[in-house]
């Protein structure tokens, strides 16, 4: 349940950053744009979440002490685990979308990873065994 919530929360945070940035980037941001960004980020993020995030979480949960998780988790999930996504985004510029859309996708995934990292650190803190 918590993984589903963390997935939705982090994905929606990424979408929010895309929507807010689009206010300043475009004169027009239609339903087609919103649906396109929503579907592409949802599908991409689901893929990354299941294949990379959950695996990475198992590893770093053991390696990083709980006091440092609030710093390292957001950095790792936004920058390191997202590397294949960033690579794919920039590789498909010009084929599927332009550079301005690629920037929005990058910002969206960066935010989603950051929020997921924070959420995991928070979850670990809340569910840590009381001393």
Q: Does 6 bind other proteins (CB under 8 A)?
A: yes
Nearer to other proteins, 80 or 91 (CB): 91
Q: Are 60 and 72 in contact (CB under 8 A)?
A: yes
Q: Which of residues 64-83 bind other proteins (CB under 8 A)?
A: none
Instruction: Answer yes or no whether residue 107 interacts with other proteins by CB under 8 A.
Output: no
Residue 30, helix vs strand vs coil: coil
CB of 52 to other proteins, least distance (A): 21
C-beta of 115: minimal distance to other proteins in Å?
9
Q: Which has the closest alpha carbon to 116: 1, 19, 11?
A: 11
The neighbouring-strand residues paired with 12 are: none
Chosen residue from 70, 72, 86, 97 binding other proteins by CB under 8 A: 97
Alpha carbons 122 and 63: distance in angstroms, whole number: 16
Q: If binding is defined by CB under 8 A, does position 15 make contact with other proteins?
A: yes
When asked if residue 12 is in the footprint of other proteins (CB under 8 A), the reply is: yes
User: Which 39-58 residues touch other proteins, going by CB under 8 A?
Assistant: 39
* Min CB(104)–other proteins separation in Å: 8
User: CA–CA separation, 83 vs 26, rounded Å?
Assistant: 27
């Amino acid at each position: 349940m918590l993984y589903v919530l963390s997935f939705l929360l982090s994905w929606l945070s990424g979408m929010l950053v895309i929507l807010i940035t689009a206010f300043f980037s475009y004169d027009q941001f239609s339903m087609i744009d919103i649906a396109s960004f929503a579907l592409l980020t949802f599908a991409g993020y689901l893929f990354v979440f299941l294949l990379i995030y959950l695996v990475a979480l198992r590893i770093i949960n053991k390696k990083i002490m709980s006091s440092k998780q609030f710093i390292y988790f957001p950095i790792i999930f936004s920058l390191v685990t997202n590397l294949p996504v960033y690579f794919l985004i920039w590789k498909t510029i010009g084929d599927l979308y332009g550079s301005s859309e690629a920037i929005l996708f990058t910002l969206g995934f960066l935010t989603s990873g950051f929020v997921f990292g924070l959420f995991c650190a928070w979850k670990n803190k809340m569910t840590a065994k009381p001393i």
